[in-house]
Amino acid sequence: MPGPTDGLLIERAAAVATLAGGLRRGLSQGETAVLSGGPLAVACWHERVLAAGPAGDVHRQIVAAGHSLDSFARVDAAGGLVTPGLIDAHTHLVFAGTREAEWQMRARGAGYLEILEAGGGILSTVAATRAASDADLLAGARSRLSEMLANGTTTAEAKSGYGLDVETELRELDMIGRLDREGPVQLVPTFLGAHAVPAEFRDRPDGVAEYVDAVIGEQLPAVARQGIARFCDVFCERGVFSAEQSARILGAARDAGLALRLHADELAPSGGAELAAEIGCASADHLAAPSDEGVAALARAAAGDRPVVATLLPATSWFLGKHHFAPARRFIDAGIPVALATDLNPGTSPTVSLPLVMSIACLEMGLTPAEALVAATINAAHSLGLGAEIGSIEPGKQADLVVWGVPSVDQLPYWLGARPARTVIKRGRVAFVRG
């Protein structure tokens, strides 16, 4: 592993998918801005990208910038593809326990919301998380993060939402901040107090309304005071939180200085897509069952100056045993920018792998490999408000890169379930090397 030198030079790449050029939608959803005709190189100086292109050009730019080639640590891409680090824009990273029994109940016909209604599902993870020590929660999250990194993820959004009380929501967000500082995977914290109504509110006649008041009146102010969340999210779904309740929570979150995202129309049309467009969410997630009006609202937002990224989570539909996936082609045709994420969580998507999610997106939603790569890099960056900083290989951007053991974008989601990341670089430093 190269030491902590100032410069890092990736050599002998067969292709570099730079993803340069900003947020993609419509026809540009599939434009990966690939440099080919190698051998190609990518140079990083400190934490930033310095240059990418044919090796000779990159060497000249290194010298022109006043650096000596000898002082650069080398990474041999050995004929592989280089891309920006993958960005997982929707995870429930911090949790305790597992839910394989519930998965088997679903296989025998039980519904996801039915299990939640009976006090299981999300609520069983809430009980386990409240009871777990910080040390255990951190150890679980760290092991998932190292697997994410090994699968090419260099930045991830991470939600609270398994606390559902002030103390545990703050604990979860605090741990996310701590894990971000530890690195190498960079984390974007999201407050999801409105993930479900906790047990202690469920037997009250107005329990849901009272819990919404508690999220707005107690949890959100505490989170905002501590400055430990960048986004606020709500599980807007028929039978969980209505569009009206979600609007109240997100409105209060915006007033408190948080940016917005939304679990929208995962299982049934629930007004989530419409709300995300109207209130100006950075991202509307899931969207497996949007209404026609919801798609139209997202299309109008995309045509205007406040596009809402449709962050699709096909591993979740798959793991829930659904044969119905988000209408990704319809979104792309309507000019709506599409991102992909794992939704990593113990109930509906126990996977850390964005390459696997990209494969499912190609197989079940008809994305091309190029569209899937755009969705897991630059569009995901934009959904997190980080499009100027990460998500593409351009001079000046943060040097988050993956060298893959495959030579082309098309082969990335093709090797089903493979672990194709060979070397992962975060902020200009080698953070993972496949043994």
Least separation in angstroms between CB 180 and ligand NIG: 21
Binding range to ligand NIG, per CB under 6 A, among 32-40, 299-307, 339-347, 361-369:
339-347
Binding residue for ligand NIG, selected from 157, 266, 274, 400, defined by CB under 6 A: 266
Contact present, 401 and 10 (Cβ < 8 Å): yes
Q: How far is CA 189 from CA 205, 289, 359, in A?
A: 33, 26, 27
Number of residues that bind ligand NIG (CB under 6 A): 13
Q: Give contact residues for Fe ion (rule: CB under 5 A).
A: 343
- Of residues 124 through 153, those in contact with ligand NIG by CB under 6 A are 125
Minimum CB separation of residue 40 from ligand NIG in Å reads 38
> CA-CA distance, 48 to 351, in Å (whole number)?
30
Dmax over CA atoms of the chain, in Å, equals: 72
Identify which of residues 272 and 405 has a Cβ nearer to ligand NIG in the complex.
272
Q: How far is the CB of 331 from ligand NIG (least distance, A)?
A: 18
Q: Which stretch binds ligand NIG (CB under 6 A): 130-138, 291-299, 341-349, 402-410?
A: 341-349
C-beta of 254: minimal distance to ligand NIG in Å? 21
Strands 7-13 and 72-76 come out as: parallel
Residue 49: CB minimum distance to ligand NIG, A: 33
Q: Which is nearer to ligand NIG, 30 or 121 (CB)?
A: 121
Q: At its nearest, how many Å lie between Fe ion and the CB of residue 159? A: 7
Nearer to Fe ion, 20 or 312 (CB): 312
Instruction: Figure out which of the listed residues 24, 25, 92, 426 binds ligand NIG, where binding follows CB under 6 A.
Output: 92
Which of Fe ion, ligand NIG, none interacts with 387 (beta carbon under 5 to 8 A by kind)? none
* 297: nearest Cα among 312, 281, 311, 313: 281
Peptide bond into 184 cis (omega under 30): yes
Stretch that binds ligand NIG, among 77-85, 120-128, 220-228, 427-435 (CB under 6 A): 120-128
291: phi > 0 → left, psi -120 to 50 → alpha, else beta; which? beta
| 83 interacts with ligand NIG by CB under 6 A | no
348 binds ligand NIG (CB under 6 A): yes
Stretch that binds ligand NIG, among 27-35, 119-127, 300-308, 325-333 (CB under 6 A): 119-127
Is 400 near ligand NIG (CB under 6 A)? no
Strand partners, 73: 8
Among 45, 72, 191, 235, binds ligand NIG (CB under 6 A): 235
Q: Which is nearer to Fe ion, 10 or 344 (CB)?
A: 344
347 belongs to the binding site for ligand NIG (CB under 6 A): yes
The site for ligand NIG (CB under 6 A) is made up of: 92, 121-122, 125, 235, 263, 266, 316, 343, 345-348
